[in-house]
Amino acid sequence: MMDMAPPESLPMHEAHPLALVTGASSGIGTEIALELARRGFDLILSGRDAERLTAVADQVLATGGAAEIQIVDLEAPGGIEALVTQVGSRELEILVNNAGFGLSGPLERESPERLAAMVHLNVTALTLLTRAFLPAMVARGHGRILNVASTGAFQPCPGMAAYGATKAYVLSFSEAVAEELAGTGVFVTALCPGPTRTRFAERAAMVGSFLFRDAMAADAVARSGVQALLAGRRLRVTGWRNRLMAFAIRFSPRGMTARLAKAMMLKRN
Ligand SMILES: NC(=O)c1ccc[n+]([C@@H]2O[C@H](COP(=O)([O-])OP(=O)(O)OC[C@H]3O[C@@H](n4cnc5c(N)ncnc54)[C@H](OP(=O)(O)O)[C@@H]3O)[C@@H](O)[C@H]2O)c1
């Protein structure tokens, strides 16, 4: 954990529903937070980069909403528990599990520490934050959870084997919990973006990859995800090309989709 100092907080509006967004300091998370603010939610913005989070909080304020920043490293021991403690007994209407990163390259060359950190963030943090905030939502009879997966969830991802597997977990987990919650008033949505223009490609060492040639804008991805979340949809694949691909994969042999995904991964712009 980077900072256990008291949170920089601003007074929340009593009447506004509250949303927590992880990974709100950048990319899709920032845009989801701003979209929720425009729709009348107050925000708890979580991430590691205080400067960026403060800039996003200022943007939320400009929409008339309120925002609090929580600086938490969800990869670090105790990070998940710290975020749960910082939210405390406040009533969360929406939880957005967005924080995540990818690693690309052959598995045997990847550092075990970075692999473990990625699985911890993409899988463990998402699972335990869902587990932590779900009981209060079920007891109240309303609440919504948006889990950010990826189109990488639909097929094996050679060249990003472990990352793709974390996103397959997110999709499977989200759809299963959504079904467990049927009739409770609580909804879970899995958002599956394809390549999107954020800091993701740079962090995953994929700048110049063919996959990102026609990447979508993060605000369009966020708008689509928030619409699906508020409509209680279980799955949203962003962009017609990604939807077509996700549909076609259902009818394609696994081996073939793995070979195709490998060819796409290796292709450069
Ligand atoms: N961009 C794409 O092409 C794409 C496609 C499909 C799915 N996704 C998924 O979309 C989600 C958002 O990614 P993005 O594309 O918006 O990338 P991004 O711009 O790199 O944003 C990632 C966010 O995750 C946060 N984060 C990373 N490590 C963290 C940690 N240890 N503790 C707390 N927060 C952490 C970052 O916050 P700090 O920097 O402040 O730590 C940042 O706010 C991820 O789950 C990603 O897998 C992305």
Q: What distances in angstroms separate CA 219 from CA 33, 111, 237, one per listed residue?
A: 10, 32, 14
Would you say the CB of residue 195 lies under 6 angstroms from ligand 1? yes
Give one DSSP letter per residue of 156-219, joined into a string.
--TTSHHHHHHHHHHHHHHHHHHHHTTTTTEEEEEEE--SEESSHHHHTT-TTBGGGTTPEEHH
Q: Is 0.85 topped by the overall pTM?
A: yes
Total number of domains constituting the chain? 1
CATH code for the domain in which residue 30 is found: 3.40.50.720
Residues with a catalytic annotation lie at 163
Would you say the CB of residue 242 lies under 6 angstroms from ligand 1? no
In a domain, 3, yes or no: no
In a domain, 34, yes or no: yes
Position 7 pLDDT exceeds 60? no
Q: Give the residue numbers spanning the domain of 128.
A: 18-266
Would you say the CB of residue 48 lies under 6 angstroms from ligand 1? yes
Supply the Cα-derived Rg of the chain in whole angstroms: 18
Distance 80 CA to ligand 1 centre (A): 16
Q: What is the pLDDT of residues 94-145, one digit of tens each?
A: 999 999 999 999 999 999 999 999 999 999 999 999 999 999 999 999 999 9
| Beta bridge partner(s), residue 189 | 146
In a domain, 210, yes or no: yes
Distance 201 CA to ligand 1 centre (A): 10
Smallest CA separation from ligand 1 atom 7, residue: 150
In a mutational test of the pocket of ligand 1, which residue from 26, 34, 210 has the highest number of ligand atoms less than 8 Å from its CB? 26
In a domain, 137, yes or no: yes
Distance 219 CA to ligand 1 centre (A): 14
In a domain, 4, yes or no: no
**CA terminus-to-terminus distance, the chain:** 38
Q: Which of 202, 179, 199 lies closest to 190 in space, CA to CA?
A: 179
**97, 129 contact by CB (below 8 A):** yes
Taking all residues of the chain, what is their mean pLDDT, rounded to a whole number?
93
